[in-house]
Amino acid sequence: MNLIYQKQWFTTVKRINDQELLAEATVLDTEQEATGQLKVDSSSFEIKDAVWEVFRSRGGKFNGRQNVTGLKGAVAYFGVGPSMRRELGGIAGGLVRELLNECVKGIIQSETFLFRERGFASLKEYGEYWRKAHASDCRYQSNMFRAARKWEDYVAGFEHNLNLFNRFKSCMIYKEHNSLIATCGFSDSYHELGISCTLDVNGYVKECSGSFLRAPDQVCFECAQLPAGLQGNVITDCTTKQFVEIMGGPQGCDHLVDLTKDLSKIAGAALDQVNRYG
């Protein structure tokens, strides 16, 4: 069994000072290395500065650095997608938008430890707001009546101050005879999960399984069975809508959706390697 492709992402959000945050996302894979940064106001999440830099890409095609002045004034929160698409489009083959989107996700996740700056009197009040605003976002939120603990109870005891949020994702693909073995892991300040898949050389999923190691509540662990639904699909042909449906929609897990979307892209790159080099 030979390793033929791998990709790692790291996202972190930290305080620069009492008024500003810096979110940074970095990607390293077999063909490229790049980073994106957003500097935002810690109360409003208004973007003060946005920059990206590609250090390494195939043939140096996307190498370069640029400030994205058009994002200044936008709010790094839900609803920023249209601004991202307008200002970033397909820069560096979509890599720049991927990186800055990861920054936005990190900022949203860091909000738990910024509840005062965001106008909430307590962590409990913030948790109540989130449960109302996102009542059907995932299996945990959709099943609060079954959950043994609320969000504020889960995060109590590991509050972050200077460094507010960290996320690491990794996908590795091995070739064994006429199959590809893919293992993907996801670990952040609140969750830890992974998927393993066996594909044929056309991207057809022969088998797939999921595992959860850390999550807010036991109801989240029920999502470990969902990746098995990828079996029988050509993973590189699946759309985001299909991944959302397979991963359970409001009874599923957004992080599994992200991980399977990542796997789809990486599997495509790995299959390209196989087709080019055998």
> What averages of pLDDT result for each successive group of 10 residues across the chain (278 residues)?
94 97 97 97 98 96 96 97 94 95 97 96 95 91 93 91 96 93 97 97 95 97 97 96 96 95 93 76
Quick one: pLDDT at residue 109? 97
Quick one: pLDDT at residue 35? 98
Q: What is the CATH number assigned to the segment(s) 171-277?
A: 3.30.390.50
Q: What's the pTM value of the predicted model, to 2 decimals?
A: 0.94
Q: Spell out the residues 6+ positions from residue 129 whose beta carbon is closer than 8 angstroms to its own.
A: 120
Q: Spell out the residues 6+ positions from residue 124 whose beta carbon is closer than 8 angstroms to its own.
A: 152
How many Å apart are CA 264 and CA 249, to the nearest integer? 18
At residue 152, φ and ψ (nearest 5 deg) are -65, -25
Quick one: pLDDT at residue 273? 78
Quick one: pLDDT at residue 189? 97
Quick one: pLDDT at residue 187? 98
Q: How far does Cα 119 stand from its chain's mean position?
A: 26
Quick one: pLDDT at residue 84? 96
Quick one: pLDDT at residue 277? 67
Quick one: pLDDT at residue 274? 77
Domain ranges across the chain: 2-111, 171-277
